[in-house]
Structure 1
Amino acid sequence: AESRRSCVAGAYCPQLGSALGPAAGRRVRDGRLVCPFHGFEYDATGQCVATPYAPPPRAARLRVFATQEIAGLIFAWWGIERREPQWNLPTDLSDQTGWSGISVRTLRFPGHPQDTTENSVDLGHLRYVHGYGSVDRVVEVSVDGAYLRSDFDFRRGYRIAGTIPFTFDVSAKTHIFGLGYSFVEIREKSIGMDMRLWVLATPVDGALIDLSLVSQVREIRGPKRWLGGLGFLPVKLRAPLMNRFIASQQERDVRQDVIIWSRKQYRSLPRLSRSDGEIMAFRAYCAQFYPEPCAPAVALPGTSDEAVV
């Protein structure tokens, strides 16, 4: 909005139910959301404050969701039975100097946020599905309320420009809050490159989810090892170029997962091997986010509280 205040609100006008999304023709004017049907205007509190032809009805109000902003990303809280936020996301990133702009790619497919986030503790699939090597857990998975941490190392081979072989030696620290927020701090040790990845799952309609893949790369000034022709580029171009490469590889990996996620059945009593122990610890952690015991295979009910930014 022009006021620079972010707001996430209900997606339908309380007057006659017109959609308020961009596809329906809504506008933002002077910091207000303008309904495309009759021109009702809503401020950032959700209150209707003007109409083109009459005083605004006091009862016309949009539901407004609690929001947080991290690295230019807007997060909204949606609670069962309109519960207030039960935790906050960590908005204070430890060091924000020298980072590239963010890259955002979003995939839509049949799935559930618990399944997509479960990959953070499922190290076995990293080897089998994605071809990672030397996958090792650094410390045990830890849980503190709504926060789960999973740290692991791995090696991954690539061909740069389709010809130059290169092996990334990676240390990953994964920070999970709830079912839809994963933030991964990555240190590539052979180059000395720092990356940030977000994997953000949003339910759409009870069957589909939007999975947003977000990445950043830190400015590469004194690399331990050069990657292809990276050393010939100006310093300011190195991080954006590497971020494009990382984003494309992240999307490639996730598309491999989507083939499985979109076709799988949820097993409440999985037959696990000894190396799969973290999966049940993760599911025990997830239980706190449901209003009552249920499996992700149960479709989330449709709701009129879809949101519009």
Structure 2
Amino acid sequence: MTQVANATETRTDQLRPHWVPTGWFQVGWSTDFPAEIVRPLRYFGGEQVAYRDSDGTLHILDAYCRHLGGNLAYGGRVQNDCVVCPFHGWRWNGEGRNTHIPYQPERPNRARRLRVWPVHEHLGVVYMWHDVEGREPSWEPPNIFADTAPHTAGLEYHSPVPDGQVKFDALTLHPQLVSENAADPIHFRYVHGARHHPVFLRRWEDDAHWFSQIGFGSRWREMAPDSHDGDTLSILVAGVGLNYTALSGSMNTLILLSTTPTDAGTSDMFQTVWLEKLPGDTPEVLRSRMDQAISQLPNDIAIWSHQRFEDPPALATVEGQAFRSFRRWARAFYPEVGGAVRL
């Protein structure tokens, strides 16, 4: 993650989050992007167009044709692995190059290009890389099965399609407020009704990830992961927009919670849920388990949507170390951008 880390060299410790952070962000699920269909997207204050070529590879480009500014996502079509402008028929390929002008076929415009957004498609989730300085991706999104929690990695899970895919459009919240939950075990008692204050069992970080494991129940001991066998919550934050969670206990559940800015002040949120395969999983049982898995998120959204970014926060002693660690780590994803709207 050298490129992201270098972005901190010219900044002070007081840099507040803005609405154009660096990193991978979810923009949908694979099922949202069928073959031969162009799809409009709207993220980071801009308009994008998404389409698949004949090999099934997904491409995301800036949406406006460089000819006269027609929006390729509205009325455009896929032809010869290109997206075709509905206005004058100009074709743009997955590298953002104009390959054909129908009334000047021998001379495409080689000077103008569309911005190409790096895409990573994995386990049915579609990610788009954002960097205001145009740098290439320096890390990949985690594998929720292998990277989140070792004790859940070898299990079998039901597909999240369709009931385990939930989207919330245009929420008035910033992705960092969501990701800070990984540093805030105390809220589980007051927002989600935990009987006791959960405690941290493990914490670590590197350039791209911030990890915490939280223990629920009265017998856990702070930073003593072997003190008790019971319910745990492991959260792997990747960048500021991706939260991979493993809930362990009598039933194991994996949840990807992704928050992606659409423009200054609003974000889309995606929740993807994988349920462990268990004996007796009838459709009715699965529906009940899924309802339980997705039922708590609206309680969080009600808080986040009306929350202010308090800087510096007034922290209790038991909260301070984790919160300060998280906020120091998160600063690396905010390159200095003149005029960027900040929290």
Q: Please report the TM-score for the alignment, with normalisation by the length of structure 2.
A: 0.69
Asked if 1:81 is matched to 2:142, the reply is: no
Q: CA deviation digits over 1:251-295, x for unaligned, max 9? A: xx332222222222221111111232222211111111112499x
Match of 1:174 among 229, 235, 239: 235
Asked if 1:298 is matched to 2:335, the reply is: no
How far, CA to CA, are the matches of 1:232 and 1:62 in structure 2? 48
Which residue of structure 2 lines up, in the alignment, with residue 265 of structure 1?
A: 308
Instruction: Report the number of matched residues.
Output: 265
Cα–Cα, structure 1 residues 280 and 244, in superposed 2: closer, same or farther, change >3 Å? same
Which residue of structure 1 lines up, in the alignment, with residue 12 of structure 2?
A: none
Contact 1:265/1:297 (CA < 8 Å) preserved in 2?
Answer: no
- Secondary structure at 2:263 match in 1: coil
Q: CA deviation digits over 1:89-123, x for unaligned, max 9? A: 22484358742222221212111111111112211
How far, CA to CA, are the matches of 1:4 and 1:61 in structure 2? 22
Q: CA deviation digits over 1:146-191, x for unaligned, max 9? A: 2110111337xxxxxxxxxxxxx7422111111111111222x23x
Match of 2:246 among 185, 192, 197: 185
Which residue of structure 1 lines up, in the alignment, with residue 33 of structure 2?
A: none
Gaps of at least 5 residues in structure 2 are 1-51, 147-152, 218-229
Contact 2:144/2:256 (CA < 8 Å) preserved in 1?
Answer: no
Asked if 1:34 is matched to 2:84, the reply is: yes
Asked if 1:147 is matched to 2:191, the reply is: no
Which has the bigger relative contact order, CA under 8 A and spacing at least 6? Answer: 2
Query: Which residue identity lines up with residue 183 of structure 1 in the other structure?
Result: Y
Q: Please report the TM-score for the alignment, with normalisation by the length of structure 1.
A: 0.76
**Pairs within 5 Å for 1:45-124:** 45-55=95-105, 56-91=108-143, 93-94=145-146, 98-102=156-160, 103-107=164-168, 108-124=170-186
- Secondary structure at 1:129 match in 2: helix
Match of 1:282 among 317, 320, 326: 326
Gaps of at least 5 residues in structure 1 are 156-168, 222-230, 300-309
RMSD: 2.7
Q: CA deviation digits over 1:204-223, x for unaligned, max 9? A: 111111111111112213xx
Cα–Cα, structure 1 residues 214 and 243, in superposed 2: closer, same or farther, change >3 Å? farther
